Structure 1
Amino acid sequence: MKLQDTTVLITGANRGIGAALVKAFQQAGVRKIYAAARNPASIHIEGVTPIQLDVTNPEQVAAAAALAGDVTLVINNAGISTPTAGLLETDALAAARAQFETNTLGTLSVSAAFAPVLKANGGGGLVNILSALSWVVVGGSGVYSASKAAAWAITNGLRNDLRAQGTTVLGVHFGYVDTDMTSGVDAPKSDPKDIAAAILKAIENGDEELLADGVAQHVKSQLTAARAIYLGQPA
């Protein structure tokens, strides 16, 4: 995909990886950028078209697809992480509902709404921002990991469903990135600019999967180890 010919919509575009993607696409000289967020007033980047979009709100999703009928690339970046100590804690179910609504069902909702738009515009591309935690649970990440594992499965299904209409589906995995979401995490983190640059390169190459940092590369390589990484450490 030639980025200069692209009209892109990015969900969760007001901060973190979303904001880094907006700036990276601007530097690449894309045709147009729809920057979507729950509160469009929170988008402070000039030269974009802000859109109000809560991905858990079906009416807003439908309205966004109707408004942005010229889109050729959709980036499902919106996501949340609701802290919980573990899957058996009293707050786990509430956290799971919130995260699945945004991270999983929100991704599916936006993808389904924009699939006909992408088809009408020649196929284009769909990019789902996933995580190395799609494959493994670390500490109290069980709820978040589950939502991203489900989003990974949806991504794989969408790839099959959209192939006939010429839409390339890219799933993006990485470890911790230096954003507000990971502000309380004491671990090495990637720069959002580096992740955004890797995503744009993968889009240009027509890739279907991107392991955007060493963490994602390591985790995936260990899925078929003698003791697979997702089994955790034995007691």
Structure 2
Amino acid sequence: MKIAGSTALVTGANRGFGRHLAAELAARGATVWAGARNPDTVDLPGVTAVRLDITDPAPVAAAAERAGDVTLLVNNAGVSTGTALLDGDLAQIRLELETHYLGTLSVVRAFAPRIAANDGGTILNVLSWFTFPGVGAYGAAKAAAWSVTNALRVELAGRGVRVAGLHVGYMDTEMAAAVPGPKADPAEVARLAADGIEAGSYEILADDVARRVQAGLSGGVAALHPALP
């Protein structure tokens, strides 16, 4: 789809990658709604802040009413609790699932009919194949979001709504501040994401981590986890 002239809504747009992507879309000529739990924290010029907590049905419905002209939806809002699956706090694991899985689905359910009614458009879900045992809750929730993306892609194809997934490892944002090692530049990932949207890509691989994991998926467990006995 063409970004210039579109109307986009980015969840979690007050900081991190969401802020970079909202800025990129605005620079390319989109009218941008910037979703955040606290709209006062949105400081991007040229965008309109809207209250949006993706885990709460009321503000999701209210945002869909207010931003009913959306043709591009970016599901970026997320949380990383650093919780392990085996002995981590179940409440934190539920929070990850409520956010990445059910929260993303809730926003899609609210906005997809409006995008379809606006002559179609694109939904982009920010995903990740990257996981470690110590942060298994995040990986499991993102895996659920990936499955949701694949299912919705088929369900919405006949309604003129393209569903894409952005796959990336760690980005140099506040969420990954404590993670050592190389991280992708969120501004560059935003540029690649916007390019992928305009190209009509179903999967956008933003860094080497995503490309390596995608290649490993066809190789089975041995390719994904070579250290296993």
2:187 counterpart of 1:188: no
> 1:223 Cα deviation (Å)?
1.5
**Alpha-carbon distance in structure 2 between the residues aligned to 1:226 and 1:90:** 27
Name 2:53's counterpart in structure 1: 54
Structure 2 residue corresponding to 1:89, chosen from 83, 87, 90: 87
| TM-score normalised by L of structure 2 | 0.96
2:57 counterpart of 1:63: no
> 1:95 Cα deviation (Å)?
1.5
Change (3 A) 1:90 1:212: closer
**Alpha-carbon distance in structure 1 between the residues aligned to 2:108 and 2:216:** 30
Contact 1:36 1:51 survives alignment (8 Å): yes
Q: What secondary structure, in the 3-state scheme, does the structure 1 residue paired with 2:134 have?
A: coil
> 1:227 Cα deviation (Å)?
4.6
Contact 2:85 2:133 survives alignment (8 Å): no
**Alpha-carbon distance in structure 1 between the residues aligned to 2:189 and 2:69:** 26
Structure 2 residue corresponding to 1:128, chosen from 111, 125, 133: 125
Q: How many residues align?
A: 229
Contact 1:176 1:187 survives alignment (8 Å): no
Name 1:215's counterpart in structure 2: 209
Within 5 Å, give how 1:73-112 maps onto structure 2: 73-84=72-83, 86-91=84-89, 93-112=90-109
**Alpha-carbon distance in structure 2 between the residues aligned to 1:63 and 1:147:** 25
Gaps of 5+ in 1: none
**Alpha-carbon distance in structure 1 between the residues aligned to 2:221 and 2:113:** 43
Structure 2 residue corresponding to 1:144, chosen from 113, 138, 141: 138
> 1:226 Cα deviation (Å)?
6.3
> 1:90 Cα deviation (Å)?
4.3
Change (3 A) 1:168 1:97: same
RMSD: 1.2
**Alpha-carbon distance in structure 1 between the residues aligned to 2:135 and 2:223:** 15
Contact 1:34 1:50 survives alignment (8 Å): yes
Work out the percentage of aligned pairs sharing the same amino acid: 48
Name 2:36's counterpart in structure 1: 37
Gaps of 5+ in 2: none
